[in-house]
Structure 1
Amino acid sequence: MPDWSYQTLFRPLLFRLPAKIARNATLHAMGGLSRIPGGSLVIRTLGHMEVSPLLEGEAMGVTFKYPVGLSGGLDPQGTAHTALAQFGFGFIEVGPVTIDPIDEEAIIRDAAQESIIYKQIYANVGLEAIVKRLKGRRGHKLPMLMRLRHMPGRTPAEATAEMKEMLKQLSPYAAGFYLDISDASWSLEDERLYLSTVMESARLLAPGMPLLLYCPLDAGKERLAAWLDKLEEAGAVCDGIVVGDAWKTEQGYVIGRGGLQHAIQLTSWARQACGDALTIIAAGGVHEPEDGLALTEAGANYVQLHSGLVFSGPGLPKRINEALLHRIVEHEEVPQPPSFWQGWGWMCLLGISMIIGGIIAWVIAATTVVLPYDLAFLCATPEMLNQLNDRLLPFMSHDRITLAGTMISIGVLYYQLARYGLRQRLHWARTAIMTSALFGFSSFFLYLGYGYFDPLHAAVAAVLLPMFVLSMRDRKEEPYRKQPNMRNDRVWRMAQRGQFMMVSLGFALVLGGIIISYIGITDVFVPEDLAFLMTSPAVLEGANENLIPLIAHDRAGFGGALLSVALGLLATALWGIQEGQRWLWWTFLAAGLPPFIAAFSVHFWIGYVNWWHLTPPLIALLLFVLALIWLYPYLMRAAPAVPLRIHNRERAS
């Protein structure tokens, strides 16, 4: 469920449901997908979170692949942890965990304020059920930081006994613990004594394991200072502080966008008070990438998401990771791009060759239609074919012109991906070309399905294949260096609709390529084709036994080419769309026009105007136009003129 589908389709539907039902439906759907064979691969493919060693870090003896974590309250039963682990999270909070179950009460979603109100913030299934779940298959390798909380109404002594039992049972599964010790029914001194006692017990029961003090968002810096002072008096040291995400109101416990400024202030104070020794995880109000950067500017080492994932979408952790990565590399010296012949230049030449080849094929298909070796295979002349059926050559022209348009599209796509993607050593661009080209070259064997060997296609493949191999030699990867999108503004939301349309077009064309290829190597004709030709396969085969193999070769070739360009387009639409990438909008336009012009012009030119037959390309054209319209402002928008760090300081102040 990437942002382009969540913002466009699923969020409008889910927000019509009660909050609890919508949450459970979403978690069970994602969890179910992750448990079927290949489900996690599908999730990773749609999101394509690229691993960068620059984001990986170690704190408190724990290795975090990414600096973004998942709040335990978002998926309290761990239903979709396996799926969520593919979104770009570096750790998962489990909890709050209490010794006994606490029933969940009403959940209210306030879309206008982008907040979630929980009547019971500590709802969970209890220690026994959580331990039972953890003994089973986790489905992911992310470190789990467990938030421990005593039951409501307990005395400090009773709470201490509960915390000891939870520490003992959860230590085999935890990478660290959040100690949630606040209790409105206790005095501040009770909390201080309880904290020092629990910290001492935790060091004995979970030796060497990170212990972090959990500070609710509305606790305030005075209360946090009192806790830290008590630890210092007792000679106890915590490994970090967690700035929570909830604050209490008359309606209940609120988690949402409104908590960001409180989180920034509390994080900033904690960093100033504790210095660099402690790890700080901030979890309040992160709904946009710039919110995550604001918290790290204030002193947080890691951020944790809850309500932001609901209102912004599942792509938020990836977007924050990209923003943090950009902050790391923005002042580094930009490495020299590889030389033209090191890799990307060969792919440019391959793309230019495909464009030239497509133009030549278009001219031939619009004039002579058949080549000498085609006629030799048929043992016939164009005149003989016209006598056999005067619509035969126009029909073959229709197949070959659409193939030519697709070849030009592939050439444009490869050239642009090479010049702007491979040259910058972008992982997604290399993957897009690799996927498309492998299927494209493999589709050559479809030509042989009916026993017809095309020497020209074989020669072209023999020339282009070494170019492809040479272009894939450079396997170095560089992070994306232009500033990624930071805000969930109107232009970004519009771009999600545009990306949805472009991805839908990619999937539709993949399906079309598969269907056309299958038809080409099986039945060859669809009913509309035979209606246009006003004949039957039996008549054609009886007139010339090599005629159907030749037509099958054209159909399979077109299907293979369509599948190749569709995969390249789909990968680009899934992974490559970034704010300000003007070249990408022009790539979509330039690569998309030739196939549509070829398809519609040849059908009207030869009189093959069957609206049922033309419905799929008309739908594809609609998707294409809408995608270009909605993506235009986003891809054409220049990067913000004000540096983000200055912007964040102004916001924080």
Structure 2
Amino acid sequence: MYEQLKSLLYLAEPEWAHEHTLLLAQGLSHTKTGPWLADFLWGYEDDRLSVEIGGLVFPNPVGLAAGFDKDGVAIGLLEAVGFGAIEVGTLTPKPQLGNPQPRLFRLVEDKALINRMGFNNGGIDRFVNRVSGQTRKRPLGVNLGKNKDTPNEQAGADYCYGLEKTYDLGDYFTINISSPNTVGLRALQEEKSLLPLLQEITAKRDHLARFSGKRKPLWLKVAPDLSAKEMEVICQIALSLKIDALVVSNTTLERPALADLNRSQTGGLSGAPLTAKADQALDWAFGYTHGQIPLVGVGGIMNAAQALRKFELGASFVQVYSGLIFSGPGLVKQIKEGLIASLNRERLPRLPKRVV
């Protein structure tokens, strides 16, 4: 069914197609039929797939990555598709239009996307007003960023504002310092910036935890373009501050051999060409954290085998986005069925953890 729909969607400009898909999903989220149909078509759960990260239990380890539903307009329908968690954002304190269009490109021949969106979103306050009072069935992650016009020296204030405003709504919070589409953002990954930034954010989280009685997990999302040494430094900081999970990784600025005519577009590359680079970054992260921090594998997951590879490299959880554009929502069910098939073959009760 998705193949027929995809042929129509691919006739449209990518961002237009995405926006109108979200509008449809938003409308269906507020009906009984929409979520029921999504669950009927793609619902698949098995208790053996449940995982716990930072005290938070996920029904399965396949989440929706940030960027698909930035403003949280279609959470109800996306839950019914069968994700283990929905991550909204990236959200910034003030609304942002993002970078000029066109800024999203399909590389159909390469099964890839290039985007230079620039944190376009309606702002945190609008998100809070929309989502407050909603009943949810799955954990909700909130991906937080800084506004484009906020200097890096003041970035902590933006992240802390977002954390405070969404603390009652989110189940975990991802600190995004690795998007390549906000000028200077990746400089926050450098030791001299990252340590004080995360100290400020974790202090805010600890304050909110004392006030609310609920300590909620902080995840940190990093770039795949880091050197091994840069990854090691980030992991050491994350360990010292007891960050609850590392999300590895964001999109890449590098360009492997690509066939599509859009290959020369600037922005972050995701999809199939990112698989090897994201896997390498994940492998490094596991080696430097010695299994002491849960890892979330993201990047280049286009099928069940590639998801399984993330777990073999040390991930406790995975997230998908670009794979959905090329395979449709059925990818989530396909991955979960593939994981269960692997457990059955190996006669294992749970997904195995990589040995340190």
* TM-score scaled by length of structure 1: 0.47
Aligned residue in 2 for 1:200: 203
Q: How far apart, CA to CA, are the structure 2 residues paired with 1:318 and 1:162?
A: 36
Distance 1:57 1:12, change over 3 A: same
Q: How far apart, CA to CA, are the structure 1 residues paired with 2:177 and 2:44?
A: 37
Which of the pair is proportionally richer in helix?
1
Q: How far apart, CA to CA, are the structure 2 residues paired with 1:167 and 1:80?
A: 21
Alignment deviations for residues 516-558 of structure 1 (CA, whole Å, 9 cap, x no partner): xxxxxxxxxxxxxxxxxxxxxxxxxxxxxxxxxxxxxxxxxxx
The correspondence for 2:247, drawn from 242, 248, 254, is 242
Q: How far apart, CA to CA, are the structure 2 residues paired with 1:220 and 1:88?
A: 35
Note the 1:88-127 alignment, pairs <5 A: 88-104=82-98, 105=101, 106-127=103-124
Q: How far apart, CA to CA, are the structure 2 residues paired with 1:84 and 1:203?
A: 30
User: Is the 2:70–2:91 Cα contact (8 Å) retained in structure 1?
Assistant: no
AA aligned to 1:196 is Q
The correspondence for 2:35, drawn from 40, 54, 77, is 40
Alignment deviations for residues 158-193 of structure 1 (CA, whole Å, 9 cap, x no partner): 211122211111110111111223524565422333
Aligned residue in 1 for 2:233: 226
The correspondence for 2:194, drawn from 155, 178, 191, is 191
2:90 paired with 1:83: no
Distance 1:245 1:236, change over 3 A: closer
Q: How far apart, CA to CA, are the structure 1 residues paired with 2:47 and 2:109?
A: 38
Distance 1:99 1:225, change over 3 A: same
User: Is the 2:209–2:216 Cα contact (8 Å) retained in structure 1?
Assistant: yes
Distance 1:157 1:206, change over 3 A: farther
Alignment deviations for residues 313-372 of structure 1 (CA, whole Å, 9 cap, x no partner): 110011101111122221329xxxxxxxxxxxxxxxxxxxxxxxxxxxxxxxxxxxxxxx
Q: How far apart, CA to CA, are the structure 2 residues paired with 1:37 and 1:93?
A: 22
AA aligned to 1:261 is A
User: Is the 1:241–1:280 Cα contact (8 Å) retained in structure 2?
Assistant: yes
Aligned residue in 2 for 1:322: 337
Note the 1:515-526 alignment, pairs <5 A: none
Aligned-partner SS, 2:45: coil
Aligned residue in 2 for 1:162: 158
User: Is the 2:220–2:243 Cα contact (8 Å) retained in structure 1?
Assistant: yes
Aligned-partner SS, 2:150: coil
Distance 1:111 1:99, change over 3 A: same
User: Is the 2:235–2:285 Cα contact (8 Å) retained in structure 1?
Assistant: no
The correspondence for 2:5, drawn from 5, 10, 13, is 10
AA aligned to 1:221 is A
Alignment deviations for residues 467-523 of structure 1 (CA, whole Å, 9 cap, x no partner): xxxxxxxxxxxxxxxxxxxxxxxxxxxxxxxxxxxxxxxxxxxxxxxxxxxxxxxxx
AA aligned to 1:75 is D
AA aligned to 1:92 is I
Q: How far apart, CA to CA, are the structure 2 residues paired with 1:301 and 1:175?
A: 17
Alignment deviations for residues 392-417 of structure 1 (CA, whole Å, 9 cap, x no partner): xxxxxxxxxxxxxxxxxxxxxxxxxx
The correspondence for 2:297, drawn from 251, 272, 282, is 282
Aligned residue in 2 for 1:210: 217
Q: How far apart, CA to CA, are the structure 2 residues paired with 1:238 and 1:331?
A: 32
Runs in 1 of length 4+ with deviation above 4 angstroms?
A: 185-188
Q: How far apart, CA to CA, are the structure 1 residues paired with 2:238 and 2:74?
A: 37
Alignment deviations for residues 265-285 of structure 1 (CA, whole Å, 9 cap, x no partner): 111111122122211111101
The correspondence for 2:285, drawn from 231, 246, 270, is 270
The correspondence for 1:294, drawn from 309, 314, 331, is 309
AA aligned to 2:253 is K
Aligned residue in 1 for 2:275: 260
Aligned-partner SS, 2:219: strand
Q: How far off its partner does 1:231 sit?
A: 4.8
Give the aligned length. Answer: 326
The correspondence for 2:68, drawn from 55, 74, 88, is 74
User: Is the 1:176–1:209 Cα contact (8 Å) retained in structure 2?
Assistant: yes
RMSD: 2.2
Aligned residue in 1 for 2:57: 63
Distance 1:58 1:15, change over 3 A: same
AA aligned to 1:203 is D
Distance 1:215 1:272, change over 3 A: same
AA aligned to 1:103 is L
Distance 1:60 1:330, change over 3 A: same
Q: How far apart, CA to CA, are the structure 2 residues paired with 1:184 and 1:176?
A: 22
Aligned-partner SS, 2:97: coil
Q: How far apart, CA to CA, are the structure 2 residues paired with 1:277 and 1:184?
A: 24
Which of the pair is proportionally richer in strand?
2
AA aligned to 1:314 is P
Q: How far off its partner does 1:110 sit?
A: 1.4
User: Is the 1:168–1:206 Cα contact (8 Å) retained in structure 2?
Assistant: no
The correspondence for 2:146, drawn from 147, 150, 153, is 150
AA aligned to 1:217 is P
Q: How far off its partner does 1:65 sit?
A: 0.5
Aligned-partner SS, 1:112: helix
User: Is the 2:90–2:142 Cα contact (8 Å) retained in structure 1?
Assistant: yes
User: Is the 2:221–2:250 Cα contact (8 Å) retained in structure 1?
Assistant: no
AA aligned to 1:262 is K
Q: How far apart, CA to CA, are the structure 2 residues paired with 1:302 and 1:184?
A: 24
AA aligned to 1:132 is N
Distance 1:202 1:225, change over 3 A: farther
AA aligned to 1:74 is F
Distance 1:110 1:136, change over 3 A: farther
Q: How far apart, CA to CA, are the structure 2 residues paired with 1:322 and 1:84?
A: 18
User: Is the 1:242–1:282 Cα contact (8 Å) retained in structure 2?
Assistant: yes
Note the 1:318-357 alignment, pairs <5 A: 318-332=333-347
Q: How far apart, CA to CA, are the structure 1 residues paired with 2:50 and 2:187?
A: 41
Q: How far apart, CA to CA, are the structure 2 residues paired with 1:134 and 1:256?
A: 29
Q: Structure 1: which 5+ residue stretches go unaligned? A: 334-644, 646-653
Q: How far apart, CA to CA, are the structure 2 residues paired with 1:277 and 1:171?
A: 25
Aligned-partner SS, 1:254: strand
User: Is the 2:83–2:332 Cα contact (8 Å) retained in structure 1?
Assistant: yes
Aligned-partner SS, 1:197: helix
2:326 paired with 1:311: yes
Q: Structure 2: which 5+ residue stretches go unaligned? A: 179-184, 255-264
Q: Which structure has the higher relative contact order (CA within 8 Å, separation 6+)?
A: 2
Q: How far apart, CA to CA, are the structure 1 residues paired with 2:236 and 2:44?
A: 42
Q: How far apart, CA to CA, are the structure 1 residues paired with 2:71 and 2:175?
A: 19
2:34 paired with 1:31: no
Aligned-partner SS, 1:74: coil
